[in-house]
Amino acid sequence: MNSPKVSPGKKDRPQVNPKTDFNFDTYMDAYEYYRPGTLILYNGVTTKRFTIETHQGDSEILLVDQETVYYRVNRAIWKAHIGASAIESASLVAADPAIRDVHWVFLGPTISTKKP
């Protein structure tokens, strides 16, 4: 059996113990999957497509809220504006080791998160 192709960005991914934590690379190897770090956003009404190249295999789109897309790249969450012809004005929303296990986000009631 050929060794599976390694998804980009492995050096930036924490190589945690797969018995106690979810390990992206162990999972991808076990199923012989490969993720190139390509995210696609498709408008089901206009059929327009947009592509986000993250160069990180462990990436996913977490939420689309009106014209804003939120996506995870390894241990960071980004947001960007869905423009007329491209995804634009990407900005960092959060960066935290716990984000590698985040697969769902939502906008909820505003609370102050300022530390005392």
Our CB check for another protein shows the closer of 11 and 97 to be 97
Residues in the chain: 116
Write down the least CB distance from residue 1 to another protein, Å.
16
Q: Kindly list the residues in this chain that would bind another protein in the complex (CB under 8 A).
A: 18-19, 21-22, 27, 33-36, 38-45, 47, 59-65, 69-70, 77, 92-96, 98-99, 101-115
Rounded Cα gap, residues 54 and 59, in angstroms: 7
Angle at 67 between CA 64 and CA 113, to 5 degrees: 65
Instruction: Specify whether the CB–CB gap between 43 and 20 falls below 8 A.
Output: no
Our CB check for another protein shows the closer of 11 and 103 to be 103
Write down the least CB distance from residue 11 to another protein, Å.
20
